[in-house]
Structure 1
Amino acid sequence: MKKSMKLIASGLAFTTLFGSGAFTVNAQSINQPTSNNPQTVETSSVQSDEEIVKALTPYVEVKDDKVYLNNDYKNKVIVSEDVVANITTYMNELNKAVDAGEVVINDDLSVTEVNQAFTVASSGTSYKLHWWGVTMTMNNKDATEFAQTLENTGGATVGASAISRFIPSPPTILVSTIAGVIGGGAVSLGKRIDSKNKGKGVKIEFKISGPIVYSR
């Protein structure tokens, strides 16, 4: 079974908060071998979150109900040690959630929450945990309120109290992922949500290089 992880695009520094600790990632390029010589590494780098996730997904696996990054990726993809540390730290948090009976990581890399309370958000908000991060979908009302909440933080870290306004009793892994991805960029994210909300709400992906906001 698998679950969400956090990665960072080349050249970006990123601090996340998981559980009681924090760690900073300064990711480098990810290069892939040429098709005619598996030992030869191309000089082009993978820049986007999507490219990073796509390159490493084949090496994410479930063993004994927990998620790991198989070291076989080293034979195909070159990734900075900082990025790998970021991934494994997030996976460790997922595995703690498994031990706590909060989530089940499925063989198809999807994540199922055990406690029904975790899956019940407000009528205008829904979310889904992935092995690469979190997706949150909000209607117009919740998106507007969430944007205002973020802008009112003044740059302070977003915590469980802010998130629980839209997702009652949020699981620790959800709070830590969202808080970690947002970091000190709450005000900026709030403005982006306002910009993308065209009256129908937004979808937010909390991913490697930061939150990505889409109009609905």
Structure 2
Amino acid sequence: MADTPMDEIDEPSGALPRRRRTVWWPAALAAAVALCLGVPALVASGTSASSTVSAAPSTDSPEAGFARDMATHHQQAIDMSFIIRDRTDNAEVRGLAFDIINTQANQRGMLMGWLAQWGLTQASPNPPMAWMHMDQQYQPHDGSLMPGMATNTQLAQLQSLSGKAAEIFYLQLMIQHHKGGAAMAQGYVDVAKNAAEKSLAQSMVASQTSEIQLMTTMLAERGAQPLPD
């Protein structure tokens, strides 16, 4: 959690009233770094500088699909963490939220940077996670586009809570979110052809699994349990 802080920012239009606070937002820097390091990353994955263009993943590849879908998945985790930031004064929960904001904003910047480096769009007409070729595709509903994502109704409920109640619901939602994210990341690891992106996905599996254990302990300390699967 030792990233560089940015200046204080105003809350977005329509957000709940809250104090101006210093926040951490390295996504723009991460995207720039990813763009600058895109060619070395591809070289590290087994390509040469002269073959970078021809070796770039296609728009329907698992590499592109994972980058797009995980970026969307990460964005909701960031949004939920910004919500809880001002719904509680608990240092432990706020620290976890800041950590998720920093980590997932950085990772999202890398994923978007790779798409730009490959000359691919950030969106696709394909259904979410189609690149995984699952026997049964997830059915999006009420804003939940992929496994683990909260619904619009749940996000509204989180915004209506404060204190311990908000902490518990945030932890419950984030455990579900991490389970879905870790499963998707492992799904990409199993079919990955790009070494740099595979390494990032492996780090997601490890870190989110660890955070699930931490959040489960934090829930127990508050007399609560994770939501049923």
TM-score (norm 2): 0.26
Which TM-score applies when normalising by structure 1? 0.27
Greater helix proportion = 2
More strand by share: 1
